[in-house]
Amino acid sequence: MVTEITTRNNSYREAYQVLQERTAPSGASWLQRLRANAFERFEELGFPSVRDEEWKYTNVAAIAKADFQKGVYAESSSRGSGAKELASFGSPETEASQLIFVNGKLRSDLSSVSGLPAEVVALDLSQAIQDERYSEIVRTNLARHADYIANGFTALNTAFISDGAFVYIPKGVVVETPIQLLFISDGAGVNAASFPRVLLVAAENSSATLIESYVSTHDSAYFTNAVVEVALKSGARLEHYKVQRESQAAFHVATTQADLGPNSTYDSTTITFGARLSRHDFSVTMDHEGVECWVDGLYLVTDDQHTDTHSVIDHRQPHCTSHQLYKGILDGKSRAVFNGKVFVRHDAQKTDAMQTNKNLLLSNEARVDTKPQLEILADDVKCAHGAAVGQIDEDELFYLATRGIHPDLARNLLTYGFAEEVIGKIKVDSIRAQLDAAVLNRLNARLEA
Amino acid sequence: MLEIKNLHAGIDGNEILKGINLTIKKGEIHAIMGPNGSGKSTLAKVLAGHPSYEVTKGEVLFEGKNLLELAPDERAREGIFMAFQYPIEVPGVSNAQFLRLAYNEKRKHLGEEELDPLEFKDLLKERAKVVEMDASFMSRSVNEGFSGGEKKRNEILQMAVLEPKLAVLDETDSGLDIDALRIVAGGVNQLHNPENAVILVTHYQRLLDYIVPQFVHVLANGRIAKEGGKELALELEEKGYDWLKTAADTGTLGVQAS
């Protein structure tokens, strides 16, 4: 496929060759081949263009044009922030259960997993690949869930697999402490690209909470291209929070693929506040019976931010339940795209699928393109979907006014309440409080208790 | 406290109130009764400042101030409260958050110190007794998932927290079973004192068994068709509204000029 924009693939090609050469002597041959195949695929696909139906509303030409450099500033720590500042992005609940990545590289001096049960694995992906205890699990899962054939960004990430996180919850282990993967962009003005890669495998009847966070110490442009693969085995449970608070000038592209085993439970909440342009391709596949999943999200954007969520919830087997609630709050000239596909395949009888996308427009210049899609091939199912785009309700405003609340404050209160339906389900207190504060900060409002 | 003079108001160009005159002094309880469509709910909404209603003529003075010049939130901070016939749900905002915000807005207006969440919690606990509401209601979203009776009790709780000078209760008795009616009315009676006033807007006499007004005004076709003491409500209960409607239309009652 030829893209109409000139892609600056040359700098990626150089960086790719450097990585392959550097890792060739010690690296696993399967990984060398995987990267090679993925890079070849990326060169064929290039970055998507708006002529591609799936990218119709999201123009990534700026990413292609900008000369984001992969791996340039791993060594530029001289202009980076101090350890104390970086560590402050962590959460009290995950002090001893977090991996902190700065510009894509694991900082072991800032990370600690001592608070996790000994049998739980959370370590740098490149180490896991070389560790014979985990290499087999990694090899049989990595890039087996997130398909790089169809998506240029996923292919690009796969071509650079090296740094990232491997999380493994062994059979029957229940981890009460949430595990946080914190990706910090640091060092203004270096025009960097980082490609975080996460593989989480939860074995039979295990249970865990994963927090995936993206933050920045500066306001300048950079490019994050993340791929997260989640594999839940039979009866496993995962609460998965993704909190995207990149800089307002950043580009954030991410793919999440969750493959859910028999009778597993997957509860995900995706919060999108940051980035000038963000795109999340989120795919949840239920190829086994008895699965229940939640695929919820909130995007809160303003000014000229653009956010795009493409989700696929795929019911392939009977007796699975999916719930999806995505809410959006748009101010300024911001724009949001929600494209949610729910597939109910021929064999997926007794499917229960519910999908809702609700948008609140705070300005006349904001715009939403929402497209919930339901494709049902089975005949004994319970499915519903809907989308709404609206403004603050006048009756609600009047009600608050009759209680002496100024209309500006009332608008903020109602907007906060709109966000709360999603934020309120987050069970990690400090993260929820942080997001509440961020919403209120955006609204310039003041509310406690 | 409140003086309504020759008030004309309507919605979408249709005149509903056609010259209302009413004076309310502190310490009083007034009932506004009337058949459906007589304008009694419109009167309540106009007093609260509902943006859909347009006042075309007349004036309303509240403690000497021109009420019609004030925005709804300003009226509320001046001490006017309306209990809604259909209270609005506010998802995602807890009752406690909402009430504290409203309470502090009023305190600020009065130049008083705001209460922090802990101080307010104590106050709320005390006021909630008035309508027999327990703590679990405070952490729930405002009116969300509340039964009809719970919503009405929540309205009276808001009244208890905000301590208005003038409370306008719009069909507060509608949809209430007898127990809820008893609690709601009990709340209003506890909150009424010689310094404030209450307007009860109601279709039925039933509420007036529990909250006894000194004055009853019967609206028909946008005008006050008959006025009297509490015994007037009983008369209406017996005879219905039809005789009044006819009388008002033909002008034979002659209570109301202009």
Query: How far is Cα A370 from Cα A368, in angstroms, rounded to an integer?
Result: 6
Pick among A325, A392, A399 to test the B interface (most B CBs inside 10 A): A399
CB-based contact B88:A396 (threshold 8 Å) = yes
CB contact under 8 A, B72 and A424: no
* Across A17-21, A82-86, A156-160, least confident range: A82-86
Residue A380 domain-assigned?
no
Range of the domain at B26: 2-87+148-250
Query: With 50 as the cut, is the pLDDT of residue A74 above it?
Result: no
The whole-number pLDDT of residue A215 equals: 96
Q: What percent of chain A has pLDDT over 70?
A: 94
Question: Is the CB of A433 inside 8 Å of chain B's CB atoms?
Answer: no
Residue A146 domain-assigned?
yes
Closest chain A residue by Cα to residue B163: A403
A424 closest CB neighbour out of B92, B106, B121: B92
Range of the domain at A249: 9-288
Q: Smallest CA–CA separation between B59 and chain A, in Å?
A: 20
Closest chain B residue by Cα to residue A445: B101
CB contact under 8 A, A403 and B76: yes
Is the same domain home to A201 and A54?
yes
CB contact under 8 A, B76 and A414: no
Is the same domain home to A139 and A269?
yes
Please report where in the chains the tokens 């839940």 appear, as a residue. A232
CB atoms within 10 A of CB A380: 9
CB contact under 8 A, A402 and B117: no
CB contact under 8 A, B98 and A418: no
Report how far apart the first and last C-alpha atoms of chain B are (Å, whole number). Answer: 23
CB contact under 8 A, B93 and A402: no
The whole-number pLDDT of residue B245 equals: 63
Residue A127 domain-assigned?
yes
The two tokens of residue A367 are 């715009």
CB contact under 8 A, A407 and B73: yes
Query: How far is Cα A155 from Cα A434, in angstroms, rounded to an integer?
Result: 34
Question: Is the CB of A388 inside 8 Å of chain B's CB atoms?
Answer: no
Residue A404 domain-assigned?
yes
pLDDT in tens, A394-408: 999 999 999 999 998
Residues of chain A positioned with their CB less than 8 A from the CB of B51 = 394, 398
Looking at the DSSP bridge assignments, the partners of residue B18 are B8
Residue A446, burial from CB neighbour count under 10 angstroms (0-12, 13-18, 19+): exposed
Q: Smallest CA–CA separation between A393 and chain B, in Å?
A: 10
pLDDT in tens, B164-176: 999 999 998 888 8
Is the same domain home to A419 and A276?
no
Q: Smallest CA–CA separation between A359 and chain B, in Å?
A: 15
Residue A326 domain-assigned?
no
Question: Is the CB of A446 inside 8 Å of chain B's CB atoms?
Answer: no
Is the same domain home to A275 and A402?
no
Query: With 70 as the cut, is the pLDDT of residue A449 above it?
Result: no
CB-based contact A71:A27 (threshold 8 Å) = no
The whole-number pLDDT of residue B249 equals: 58
At residue A283, what are phi and psi to the nearest 5 degrees?
-125, 125
CB contact under 8 A, B162 and A404: yes
As a whole number, mean pLDDT of residues A187-198 equals: 85
Query: How far is Cα B84 from Cα B168, in angstroms, rounded to an integer?
Result: 9
At residue A126, what are phi and psi to the nearest 5 degrees?
-65, -35
The H or E element spanning position A337 is strand A335-344
The H or E element spanning position A323 is strand A321-330
CB contact under 8 A, A449 and B97: yes
Query: How far is Cα A297 from Cα A431, in angstroms, rounded to an integer?
Result: 15
Domain count for chain A:
2
Residue B129 domain-assigned?
no
The whole-number pLDDT of residue B247 equals: 60
Residues of B with CB under 8 A from a CB of A: 48-51, 71-73, 75-77, 81-82, 84, 87-88, 90-94, 96-98, 100-102, 105-106, 109, 116-117, 120-121, 141, 158, 162
pLDDT in tens, chain B (258 residues): 999 999 999 999 899 999 999 999 999 999 999 888 889 999 999 999 999 999 999 999 999 999 999 999 999 999 999 999 999 999 888 999 899 999 999 999 999 999 988 899 999 999 998 888 888 888 899 999 998 889 999 999 999 999 999 999 999 888 888 888 999 999 999 999 999 999 999 988 888 889 999 999 999 889 998 888 888 877 887 777 777 766 655 555 544 443
Sheet containing A292-301: which strands, arranged edge to edge? A105-106, A98-102, A179-185, A207-216, A237-244, A265-272, A292-301, A321-330, A352-361, A382-390
Residue B110 domain-assigned?
no
Q: What is the CATH number of the domain that holds B176?
A: 3.40.50.300
Residue A352 domain-assigned?
no
Residue B258 domain-assigned?
no
Boundary residue ending a domain (A262, A288, A314): A288
pLDDT in tens, A411-448: 888 999 999 999 999 999 999 999 988 888 777 644 44
Is the same domain home to A283 and A397?
no
The whole-number pLDDT of residue B248 equals: 57
A35 vs B136, more confident: A35
Residue A216 domain-assigned?
yes
CB-based contact A334:A300 (threshold 8 Å) = no
Number of helices (H) and strands (E) in chain B: give both, helices first.
9, 12
Question: Is the CB of A325 inside 8 Å of chain B's CB atoms?
Answer: no
CB contact under 8 A, B72 and A396: no
The H or E element spanning position B58 is strand B53-62
CB contact under 8 A, B88 and A395: yes
Question: Is the CB of A403 inside 8 Å of chain B's CB atoms?
Answer: yes
Residue B156 domain-assigned?
yes
Q: Which amino acid is at A362?
A: L
B73 closest CB neighbour out of A401, A418, A420: A401
Residue B20 domain-assigned?
yes
As a whole number, mean pLDDT of residues A126-154 equals: 94
CB contact under 8 A, B84 and A399: yes
CB-based contact A65:A8 (threshold 8 Å) = yes
Residue B122 domain-assigned?
no
Please report where in the chains the tokens 């907007």 appear, as a residue. A415
Boundary residue ending a domain (A249, A272, A288): A288
Contacts of A199 (CB under 8 A, 6+ apart): A125, A138, A141, A142, A164, A165, A166, A167, A229, A231
Contacts of A311 (CB under 8 A, 6+ apart): A280, A281, A282, A283, A284, A295, A324, A326, A339, A340, A341
Confidence of residue A246 (pLDDT cuts 50, 70, 90): very high
As a whole number, mean pLDDT of residues A152-181 equals: 96
Domain count for chain B:
1
CB-based contact B154:B124 (threshold 8 Å) = no
B106 closest CB neighbour out of A404, A413, A417: A404
